[in-house]
Amino acid sequence: MKKFVLALALVICSVFATQAEIIQHTHQIAEVKFTGSSYALGRHVGEVAQDQILDGIGRFNKTLGVMLPGLSVESLSRNFKEKGVYAKLEQSSPDAAAYIKGLSDALGFEPDYLLSVGMSDEAILESQRNGGVGFLEAPAKCTVMGRTDSAGQAWAAANFDYMGVNYKGLIVLNHTNEDGQTKVIQTWAGLIPYGGITVGGQPLLMNTMADEGTYREKQKGNILAEGAVPSFHLSWEAYNQSSPEELREMYVHGDYTAFFSYIMVDAEGAATNFENAYGDDKLRVKSSNALAHSNHSLFVRHDFVDEKFGAHSLKRQAAADEFITTASMDVSHEEVIAFLQSKPLWKGRDKFMGTVTSTYFQVAGKKVDMYIHTDIGQEPVHIRNY
């Protein structure tokens, strides 16, 4: 395999008022540093990372066929277009839609085609309800946690556990918008956001609510229901919020096509958890100085959530709760990563599914340093918002 030297590949360009820089940190992780609009960001990512994105889409497409014969990006995208998913996204989140449109114009794919990859939870749920691999077999089995002293110091950690195709093609978007606000979004192929730093300088820890998607299926609910807002609205807009109050307001649109948990870790406030759910209870909120989350609700226990559900989600939650409540504010980077890379949290690097990244966040006020680990023993990639 071709060897990469940290920060070897560096491209700097100026397009009107934009400033852009791409750093290929390792053969698995690239960072795009960009100043400008979300549309311009999407177009730039589509141009400079085109090979990675196209390769990723091809590998994702093959995995879908393994999960459920006949399932493909093309078949999903036809359904997305028929249901007007991108058109709905334009209404609920013009900023997210602008980013997707920029990617679309650069890559030559329709927005609904790109969203059928970016909204991958919906693909898993489609497979699950048709008898293929789904959350019961747990492609998404992430565990996240954060702790704050509310006096300017905090730390956080997250395991992103997903499909084997996600091990490479990771692109971190380090984006400063036209108002001078900077957010950092960890993505796969520029299409699947899964954690990062908000414009308010807080680590944002994302997780899939595998139980809520399964509950909707058992209630005979539709994934792309008529009034449901595309989940990419949440995946993108969460990073545009600078406080728990703003994050709460992000959910004003009601029902969504997928269900996520977010923990916002504020060094000068609290760690706040948000869950959107299927049914009457639309939004659940909890705040504390220390919080952890796996793949089931902290508020509601569905009867099908047993010890095996979501790659032992209950066991991972118990382990994470114990660690986050007993670890001090001075716990070391090494101790946190050692925990993330141990059972029951660590899922290995299997060909089909496993732990994609283990990320440690160190926070001083609004300054956040991220250290992204992939294979055990490999040096972490250091990215910051300042």
Tens digits of residue pLDDT in 13-56: 434 445 788 899 999 999 999 999 999 999 999 999 999 999 99
Which tokens belong to 75? Answer: 């078949």
> How far, in Å, are 85, 360, 369 from residue 152 at the CA level?
40, 17, 14
pLDDT exceeds 60 at position 5: no
Could you give the CA distance from residue 284 to residue 261 in angstroms, rounded to a whole number? 9
**Could you tell me which of 139, 108, 99 has the C-alpha nearest to residue 239?**
99
Predicted TM-score (pTM) of the model is: 0.92
pLDDT of residue 3: 38
- At residue 4, does pLDDT exceed 70? no
pLDDT given at position 351:
85
CATH of 10-384, one of 3.40.50.720, 3.40.1710.10, 3.20.20.70, 3.60.60.30: 3.60.60.30
Average pLDDT of span 79-103: 96
Task: Report domain extents, the chain.
Answer: 10-384
Cis previous bond, 139, omega within 30: no
pLDDT tens across 153-193, in order? 999 999 999 888 899 999 999 999 999 999 999 999 999 99
The secondary structure element, H or E, covering residue 29 is strand 29-35
